[in-house]
Amino acid sequence: MDPLKEWLSGQNGGLVLDVATGRGYSASLLAESLKSYKSILGIDISRENLCQSKKASKDNRVLLLGMRAEAMGFANNTFDTVTVINSLHHFQYAKESLEEMKRVLKPNGNFIIFEMVQDGLNEKQKSHRDAHHWWGAVDRLNGVFHRETFRNDELRKMVDMLGLSKVKFINFNEETEIDNKEVIETMEKTIDLYIEKIPINIDRQPLIDEGRKLKERFHEVGFAWATILITIGTK
Ligand SMILES: C[S@@+](CC[C@H](N)C(=O)[O-])C[C@H]1O[C@@H](n2cnc3c(N)ncnc32)[C@H](O)[C@@H]1O
């Protein structure tokens, strides 16, 4: 089982803040996995993603707000649990955002980061990483901040600098059916979608070729989800 879900199933979340909640995946994961919670407040800078999330959720204890991770409008020590799931490498100010998360977390509250890493991967996982980095390059050309994923040591260093207590790092390799046909088809569709997104005012061909090579790689080498570094600590 996903070690984050397993850990959440034993936790009373209280007031939960999900930073960069996106289209609803992480808020529903929290709602479904936590033993109990009072409310889950999801913040994000994308109005479009928040609208999608609102449509997806039927739970009236899941609330959404437009706000930047690096400059939150909450008082110190407000939340019992703060989470950032699949998002840290999307932040222009990752370090500042983590500091904000700590600021708004109550003493003894739980601090959770769930983030894929770029190192220590097998060849199939590198297919995921390389595709992810290629999507990031296309996003950046469209003015969307999306850096390459962090290395294990970079993430651990940022966490160390926060000075949390009882920190646990877990490297999680999702047991995908390696070379799962459906996963590969979805990834290929995402590559095609991103090829459409390559701006027309640049020489598009090198990026298109790279996208096509990635699709070939999925078949030749295979595909598996990259390792996730899960961080669980308290303030
Ligand atoms: C890959 S999505 C992840 C969403 C969600 N947590 C999930 O697991 O599905 C990354 C999200 O980060 C958001 N984001 C990027 N920069 C942000 C910032 N500075 N403050 C808040 N949200 C931000 C984006 O709008 C996007 O919704």
What are the tens digits of pLDDT across the range 124-139? Answer: 999 999 999 999 999 9
Q: What is the pLDDT of residues 13-24, one digit of tens each?
A: 999 999 999 999
pLDDT of residue 1: 59
Residues present in the chain in total: 235
Q: What is the amino acid identity at position 88?
A: L
Q: What is the pLDDT of residues 34-93, one digit of tens each?
A: 999 999 999 999 999 999 988 887 889 999 999 999 999 999 999 999 999 999 999 999
Contacts 24+ apart (CB under 8 A), 175-180: 176/223, 176/224, 176/225, 178/124, 178/222, 178/223, 178/224, 179/124, 179/222, 179/223, 180/223
Q: What is the pLDDT of residues 86-115, one digit of tens each?
A: 999 999 999 999 999 999 999 999 999 999
CA of 44 to the centre of ligand 1 (A): 6
Q: How many CB atoms lie within 10 A of CB 40?
A: 26
Ligand 1 pocket: which of 40, 90, 93, 145 to mutate (most atoms <8 Å of CB)?
A: 90
CA atoms of 190 and 30, how far apart (whole Å): 26
Q: What percent of the chain has pLDDT over 90?
A: 91
Give the pLDDT band of residue 179 (cuts 50, 70, 90): low
pLDDT of residue 178: 61
pLDDT of residue 57: 79
208 Cβ contact list (under 8 Å, min separation 6) = 195, 198
Between the alpha carbon of residue 159 and those of residues 7, 63, 169, 208, the distances in Å are 19, 27, 10, 37
> What is the position in ligand 1's atom list of the atom closest to the CA of 24?
9
Instruction: Give the tokens for residue 169.
Output: 């790092």
CA of 55 to the centre of ligand 1 (A): 17
Q: What is the pTM of this model?
A: 0.95
- Smallest CA separation from ligand 1 atom 26, residue: 22
Ligand 1 pocket: which of 44, 54, 95, 190 to mutate (most atoms <8 Å of CB)?
A: 44
DSSP for 85-136? ES-GGG-TTHHHHHHHHHHHEEEEEEEEEEEEBSSS--HHHHHHHHHHHHHH
| Pocket (CB within 6 angstroms of ligand 1) | 20-22, 25-26, 44-46, 49, 68-70, 85-87, 90-91
